[in-house]
Structure 1
């Protein structure tokens, strides 16, 4: 079967995260039809996670191609670029305050970014409640998507934008994510200026990090007077159950954490113990480095589905840049097959270079020199 022209192809994006939605938006802007399938039952089915920074040299490039950069700047928080580094006593050892006109990597809540992209699409573009199970059909012919609800769809191109545990990835690669040995435990704080003023002062308008070599934390100011704190530990992936606790045993987990962080100052321990509601366990996984695959004329990947890395400020940015480059390739070449070749020729070397630079980076989150990793640690698109 000859590869179809992109403007006559049935294009299916799996995953309505920032990468998948960016790809769909740019395709529609270039006059091409696209359908997005997502396993969530609707756009408000779950919390989208914390804040993230969009960089001028990747994420913002994608938004410019999508015609959404000006709207992004209306929503973004440039003051969120402030970064504090502290020691376990709460003493500030490094403090970066952005200039008034600094726009290299302003922050935006992940939910706000998702809504911006969703609202830019034509009605009906996203089909909710469609969890992909498998893909069948020949690599060089039309593919059939099999969903968990028993329905199927015929398509000419499958774009896997479905995150860490992608259901599209097995069509091109046997690779699976491996646990890095480092886990995040997320804690939420609401109405912080009134209810948690000391924590609000510690964190400032952006992010604050601290570590002692064995454990750490990273706190982020979100919009709406919220702060999220990620407690970072080198632990077994099942550490909560191995401690005889359940994931919803907030009091038990809190007591265990206070033992682990016993030598930290009382002021810092507020960010461990005074959270509003339960903790959220987020073990950190990564794909093998390098992760590449043999070219497939009907399936490709972007974002975490293609190159899952430790959360060091590149995940969403690379996903959106991938999405932009893939959509532009589809808009500018003769066939779907040619577009995938063009896209992967750039994406795979770039992601390999970045993944090599960040390999083992999860361990650096526990060092006294915790980097500004920006993304929210949510590895599910």
Structure 2
């Protein structure tokens, strides 16, 4: 009998795996902590790359659906200095090399392609316990349980499945970012809209800066990145709580963040202060570049659960390729899952190590001592792409 696959986590990697399995006749169930598919926003735009993210969607049979959700023109890039002057600029060339699409839209086309009932919502995993012979008992926050024949942890940075394989815990990467949003930007925030342009905008100095995207729907989504200690961010959160949360708390956080950019152009500061929603803190953690484990029967990991690292532009792409390739291998060995998992891990380990090293190089290029000049040289064609 074909092995039933249990996936924990309905992110892009877990859903890609589930869809490839489903389309190859392999039974699969996905458990996710969210109450529903619409329980929370899914983040901003992603540029899926031809050799990994787009390849994964091709394997899953979703190329045409993906092309329908691309943000045309969103691939433009520009670098500004702290005073708002343009240092380098590239238009969207219209190619399919790295087109932009909203993460939520990519997730939607994956979910819509799965059979009803594949994803079980509101099932937050508390623990996974080995039962022997590759089987595991899953215990959920609502008190329910399930038993897996083949378990895949696609549950992100703080994976509850990872301890079955590895005692490694993610460590703080030394930097974090705040998500901010401006809406109806052409009418309500014209100066910020002009500064960001039609695609991605980078305004950087060593250790901090703005990474902003013009998204579909007249929205600017900004990552305000700061190289600060965890204690600094805890103090920012404490200030918000001291203001009793809500609007006053959000205003306190905006004021604290904006103070770190004193002297920057007003249109850049407005990416912090002009938002209609509270800034959301995202602490960045990472596993070792060479995170590996010994082959353990009946269980493996994909995406951030396996190889979370600093943001270098490949995280979602790698998770989706992990899922697609793992799905293909399980489908090719329906009665021998250990052969499938061993083959998957051999390739995934090497790829994720190389990409983790490249991600660190990318962060150094963007936020290192040479910022923003090295990025300017890259966009002008005179620098070396770390990828």
Would you say same fold, with TM above 0.5?
Answer: yes
User: Aligned equivalents of 2:207 and 2:112: distance in 1?
Assistant: 43
Partners of 1:37 and 1:371 lie apart in 2 by 41
> How far is 1:364 from its partner?
4.5
| Separation in structure 2 between the aligned mates of residue 236 and residue 47 of structure 1, nearest angstrom | 27
Distance 2:6 2:375 in 1: 36
Instruction: Calculate the TM-score normalised by the size of structure 1.
Output: 0.92
Structure with higher RCO (Cα < 8 A, 6+ apart): 1
2:269 aligned with 1:308: no
**How far 1:363 moved relative to its partner?**
5.1
1:105 and 2:98 matched: yes
Q: Deviations over 1:274-304 (max 9, x none)?
A: 1112111111111112100001120100000
Q: Is 1:198 aligned with 2:191?
A: yes
SS at the partner of 1:246?
helix
Q: What is residue 5 of structure 2 aligned with on the other side?
A: 11
Alpha-carbon offset, residue 117 of structure 1:
0.4
Provide Cα deviations, 1:9-65, integer angstroms capped at 9, x if missing partner: 121000000100000001011111100000001111111111111111100101011
Residues 199, 139 of structure 1: alpha-carbon distance in 2 compared, 3 angstrom cutoff: farther
Task: Pick closer, same or farther for the CA change 1:57–1:173 going to 2, 3 Å.
Answer: same
Match of 2:154 among 141, 161, 169: 161
Paired residues in the alignment total 365
For residues 170 and 229 of structure 2, what CA distance do their matches in structure 1 show? Answer: 15
Residue in 1 that maps onto 2:350:
349
Note if contact 1:183-1:233 (Cα within 8 Å) is conserved in structure 2: yes
Structure 1 residue 239: Cα displacement: 2.0
Gaps of 5+ in 2: 377-387
TM-score under structure 2 normalisation?
0.90
Q: Distance in 1 between matches of 2:375 and 2:149?
A: 42
Pairwise CA RMSD: 1.7
Paired residues of 2:134 and 2:299 also in contact (CA < 8 A)? no
CA contact (8 A) 1:139 1:298 kept: no
**What's the offset of the Cα at 1:139?**
5.2
Contact (CA 8 Å) 2:239, 2:253: kept in 1 or not? yes
Structure 1: tracts of 5 or more residues without a match: 1-6, 373-381
Q: Give the 3-state SS of the residue equivalent to 1:297 in structure 2.
A: coil
Task: Provide the residue aligned with 1:22 in structure 2.
Answer: 16
Matches for 1:78-117 after TM superposition, within 5 Å:
78-100=72-94, 102-117=95-110
Q: Is the 8 A contact 2:8 2:152 kept in 1?
A: yes
Q: Is it true that 1:132 corresponds to 2:125 in the alignment?
A: yes
**Residue 228 of structure 1: CA displacement?**
0.8
Q: Tell me what 1:187 maps to.
A: 180
Taking the aligned partners of 1:371 and 1:143, their CA distance within structure 2 comes to 47
Aligned positions of 1:164-313 closer than 5 A: 164-243=157-236, 244-246=238-240, 248=245, 249-313=249-313
Residues 54-63 or 208-217, more deviating: 208-217
1:312 CA displacement: 1.4
Inter-partner Cα distance in structure 2 for 1:49 and 1:298:
32
Give, in angstroms, the shift of residue 259 of structure 1: 2.0
Three-state SS of the structure 2 residue aligned to 1:47 is coil
* Native 8 Å contact 2:74 2:99 kept in 1: yes
CA distance in 2 between counterparts of 1:352 and 1:216 reads 27
CA distance in structure 2 between the aligned counterparts of 1:236 and 1:59, rounded to whole angstroms: 32
Taking a change above 3 Å as real, the CA distance of residues 177 and 364 of structure 1, as seen in their structure-2 partners, is farther
Quick one: distance in 1 between partners of 2:355 and 2:19? 26
Among 24, 34, 48, the residue aligned to 2:28: 34
How far 1:371 sits from its partner (Å)? Answer: 5.8
Q: Which residue of 2 aligns with 1:318?
A: 318
2:329 is matched with: 329
